[in-house]
């Protein structure tokens, strides 16, 4: 069940956490531990945890009674961490920060899931614990490296799960199992207590059936952690997404020449359909050059970043290489081919690609890509494990290197019964806006949840934040309106028009004397009952508000305006003294009407 459905069942008395946990363990006993799980919390311990929750205040626990799983490179107290390599196993004395936070929010851990060994792979076949397959067809891979985490959610064993994502491991399995796969900004969720793959790039990812669920999990998982050297505290305005509140937005789609589906016959049409549906949500497609992003992707496995994987397990691989998965050992051992000079050369190349790719974001707000070009059978991966794995990362490998955020979402079913998926990609710390848009697009493209027959339409939608993340709402009434001479002061700062509205009736409106360009002023009179004055409400990135306000000349000021619906926003007011010598134009209802009256 999704989070809202479980919470509703708990509130109605139709379910309780103990019954839910009992049902999950009954299924695991019937279906077997492998290949989804590497280890599980002892049944009695999980039931005791559920029972303890039942005496607590549900209203203070946003994830009350919600079962979840974690990938087995994430530490859980007194449970072995194997990273899918039995010889590597150790038993931690404390849980990863993210696990501790989720349990504190009321979630119930069921167990640790199967994965590509040392999180090296996008296939889910590089493990001694059995190969996970797509819940839609046992012949096809589940995707990796977070294979078991995705299958556990798609198969209805848990409501959400944690994976990790360095090259796409939180997104590719989402596509093959019809799930939401959130890859947050690097450092948004602590990786303290996570076995590193590439420590500078690793992210904890979230699998869920809906964007609503992923958003709720993120809200309880994210946050700065001093124990994680790569944890980040976003600055004011970081990830500002004014486009998320606007009636229209721009999305980047690659030129057709650079879209490669590697011989697949069905996915091109499904991707085209996804782009078309995004336009019905207000999106304006902008074609862009994907090549520099693809060039960055090549650096991850065909450059010295593989040495970072070696650094994570250097001593172990020296002593236990024969006990590792052969493909994983081959990839990580390749680090010996790179020198310190190679690392610096690659760093310089990546910095050049950052510069090139950053200019693309001037032309669009969000990027739409296939999550993976195509699916492979388990047999096909066995025939060519490295090259076909690389194909799966075509549209994912560059994201962490370029410090981007991404949400993978279901995008319809193929004629052969396999799911397809697309990914929305945004700049760092835009997760909230991406999830909101992903929810809308998901509902356009899909009907069922995960691998079940339950309907997406029965789940709560995820509302866009108001104001948009990282933004402040600013109401303008005169020279800053669209098409007026000072509107550039908003657009130059990345502001976007959210809506046109009116003030409440408690405002008088004046054309001010001796202003260049001509400007009006609003004065609030609580007892006045006028027509309301036309305003435009703009979303302005919070880190630009200071310079905007600095340019406001006396007698104008920025204060708080009441709109006709009772909501409050920042906006232009004038000191009463500023109306001296001016003309009251309240009856005209707005600046544009006044300007028209002068013609």
Instruction: Assign 405 a pLDDT band (cuts: 50, 70, 90).
Output: very high
Q: Tell me, what's the pLDDT at 58?
A: 93
When pLDDT is averaged across residues 562-580 and rounded to a whole number, the result is: 96
**Residue 156 is encoded by which pair of tokens?**
């209805």
Q: Has residue 1 got a pLDDT over 90?
A: no
Per-residue pLDDT of 486-529, as tens digits, reads 999 999 999 999 999 999 999 999 999 999 999 999 999 999 99
Distance of CA 22 to the CA centre of its chain: 32
Q: Tell me, what's the pLDDT at 306?
A: 85
CB atoms within 10 A of CB 269: 13
Per-residue pLDDT of 330-371, as tens digits, reads 999 888 788 889 899 999 999 999 999 999 999 999 999 999
Q: Tell me, what's the pLDDT at 228?
A: 98
Domains 3-230+252-453 and 471-597 alike in fold: no
Q: Has residue 475 got a pLDDT over 90?
A: yes
When pLDDT is averaged across residues 75-86 and rounded to a whole number, the result is: 98
Q: To the nearest whole percent, how much of the chain has pLDDT over 70?
A: 100
Which stretch of 293-302, 435-444, 551-560 has the lowest confidence by average pLDDT?
Answer: 293-302
Q: What contacts 424, CB < 8 A, 6 or more positions away? A: 251, 366, 367, 368, 406, 407, 409, 434, 437, 438, 441
In terms of Cβ atoms closer than 10 Å to its own Cβ (0-12, 13-18, 19+), residue 315 is exposed
Per-residue pLDDT of 125-159, as tens digits, reads 999 999 999 999 999 999 999 999 999 999 999 99
Q: Tell me, what's the pLDDT at 107?
A: 98
When pLDDT is averaged across residues 464-474 and rounded to a whole number, the result is: 94
- How far is residue 429's CA from residue 406's CA, in Å, rounded to a whole number? 10
Kindly provide the b/e burial profile for residues 101-112, where b requires at least 16 CB atoms within 10 angstroms of the residue's own CB: bbbebbbbbbbb
Q: Tell me, what's the pLDDT at 301?
A: 81
Q: Has residue 303 got a pLDDT over 80?
A: no
Task: Name the fold adopted by 3-230+252-453.
Answer: Amidase signature (AS) enzymes (3.90.1300)
When pLDDT is averaged across residues 106-128 and rounded to a whole number, the result is: 98
What DSSP letter does each residue of 390-430 carry, written as one string?
HHHTTTTTHHHHTTEEEEEEEEEE-TTS-EEEEEEEEETT-
- How far is residue 350's CA from residue 353's CA, in Å, rounded to a whole number? 5
Q: Where are the domains of the chain?
A: 3-230+252-453, 471-597
Q: Has residue 214 got a pLDDT over 90?
A: yes
User: Do the Cβ atoms of 149 and 163 come closer than 8 Å?
Assistant: yes
Q: Has residue 217 got a pLDDT over 90?
A: yes
Q: Has residue 210 got a pLDDT over 80?
A: yes
Which amino acids are annotated catalytic? Answer: 71, 145, 169
Q: Where are the beta strands (DSSP E) in 117-221?
A: 133-134, 137-141, 160-165, 180-183, 203-208
Instruction: Assign 284 a pLDDT band (cuts: 50, 70, 90).
Output: very high
Nearest to 347 by CA among 473, 482, 201, 449: 201
When pLDDT is averaged across residues 46-54 and rounded to a whole number, the result is: 97
Query: What does the angle CA 202 – CA 311 – CA 394 come to, to the nearest 5 degrees?
Result: 45
Instruction: Assign 599 a pLDDT band (cuts: 50, 70, 90).
Output: confident
Helices 3-12/211-221 angle, 10° precision? 80
When pLDDT is averaged across residues 385-399 and rounded to a whole number, the result is: 97
- How far is residue 438's CA from residue 410's CA, in Å, rounded to a whole number? 9
CB atoms within 10 A of CB 384: 12
Q: Has residue 65 got a pLDDT over 80?
A: yes
Q: Has residue 428 got a pLDDT over 90?
A: yes
pTM of the entire predicted model: 0.96
Q: Tell me, what's the pLDDT at 304?
A: 83
Q: Tell me, what's the pLDDT at 390?
A: 96
What single-letter DSSP state applies at residue 105?
T
Say which CATH architecture domain 471-597 belongs to.
Roll (3.10)
What single-letter DSSP state applies at residue 79?
B
Instruction: Assign 50 a pLDDT band (cuts: 50, 70, 90).
Output: very high
């Amino acid at each position: 069940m999704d989070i809202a459905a479980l919470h509703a069942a708990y509130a109605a008395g139709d379910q309780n956490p103990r019954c839910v946990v009992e049902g999950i363990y009954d299924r695991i006993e019937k279906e077997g531990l492998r290949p989804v799980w590497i280890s599980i919390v002892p049944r009695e311990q999980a039931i005791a945890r559920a029972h303890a929750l039942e005496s607590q205040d549900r209203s203070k626990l946003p994830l009350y009674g919600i079962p979840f799983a974690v990938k087995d490179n994430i530490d859980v107290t007194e449970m072995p961490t194997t990273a899918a390599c039995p010889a590597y196993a150790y038993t931690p004395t404390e849980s990863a920060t993210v696990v501790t936070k989720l349990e504190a929010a009321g979630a119930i851990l069921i167990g640790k899931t199967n994965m590509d060994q040392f999180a090296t792979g996008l296939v889910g076949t590089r493990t001694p614990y059995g190969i996970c397959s797509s819940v839609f067809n046992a012949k096809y891979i589940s995707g990796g490296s977070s294979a078991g985490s995705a299958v556990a959610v798609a198969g209805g064993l848990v409501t959400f799960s944690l994976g990790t994502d360095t090259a796409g491991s939180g997104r590719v399995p989402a596509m093959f199992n019809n799930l939401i796969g959130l890859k947050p900004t690097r450092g948004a969720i602590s990786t303290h207590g996570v076995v590193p793959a590439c420590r500078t790039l690793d992210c904890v990812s979230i699998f869920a059936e809906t964007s609503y669920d992923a958003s709720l999990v993120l809200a309880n998982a994210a946050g700065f952690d001093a124990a994680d050297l790569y944890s980040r505290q976003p600055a004011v305005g970081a990830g500002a997404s004014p486009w998320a509140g606007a009636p229209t937005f721009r999305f980047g789609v690659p030129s057709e020449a650079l879209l490669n589906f590697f011989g697949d016959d069905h996915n091109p049409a499904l991707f085209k359909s996804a782009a078309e549906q995004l336009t019905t949500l207000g999106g304006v497609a902008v074609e862009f050059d994907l090549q520099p992003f693809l060039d960055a992707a090549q650096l991850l496995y065909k450059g010295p970043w593989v040495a970072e994987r070696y650094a994570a397990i250097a001593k172990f691989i020296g002593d236990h290489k024969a006990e590792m998965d052969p493909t994983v050992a081959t990839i990580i051992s390749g680090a010996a081919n790179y020198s310190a000079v190679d690392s610096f050369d690659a760093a310089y190349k990546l910095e050049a690609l950052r510069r090139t790719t950053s200019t693309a974001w001037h032309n669009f707000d969000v990027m739409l890509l296939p999550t993976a070009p195509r699916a492979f059978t388990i047999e096909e991966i066995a025939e060519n494990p490295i090259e076909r794995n690389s194909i799966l990362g075509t549209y994912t490998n560059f994201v962490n290197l370029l410090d981007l955020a991404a949400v993978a979402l279901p995008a319809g079913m193929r004629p052969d019964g396999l799911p397809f998926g697309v990914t929305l990609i945004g700049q760092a710390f835009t997760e909230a806006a991406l999830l909101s848009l992903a929810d809308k697009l998901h509902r356009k493209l899909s009907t069922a949840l995960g691998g079940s027959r339950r309907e997406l339409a029965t789940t709560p939608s995820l509302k866009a934040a108001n104001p948009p993340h990282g933004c402040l709402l600013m109401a303008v009434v005169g020279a800053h309106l669209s098409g007026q001479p000072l509107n550039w002061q908003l657009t130059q700062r990345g502001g976007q028009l959210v809506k046109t509205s009116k003030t409440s009736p408690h405002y008088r409106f004046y054309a001010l004397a001796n202003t260049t360009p001509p400007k009006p002023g609003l004065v609030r009179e609580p007892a006045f009952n006028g027509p309301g004055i036309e305003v435009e409400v703009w979303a302005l990135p919070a880190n630009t508000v200071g310079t905007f306000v600095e340019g406001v000349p006396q007698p104008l000021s920025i204060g708080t305006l009441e709109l006709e619906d009772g909501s409050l926003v920042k906006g232009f007011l004038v000191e009463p003294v500023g109306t001296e010598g001016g003309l009251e134009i309240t009856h005209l209802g707005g600046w544009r009407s006044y300007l028209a009256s002068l013609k």
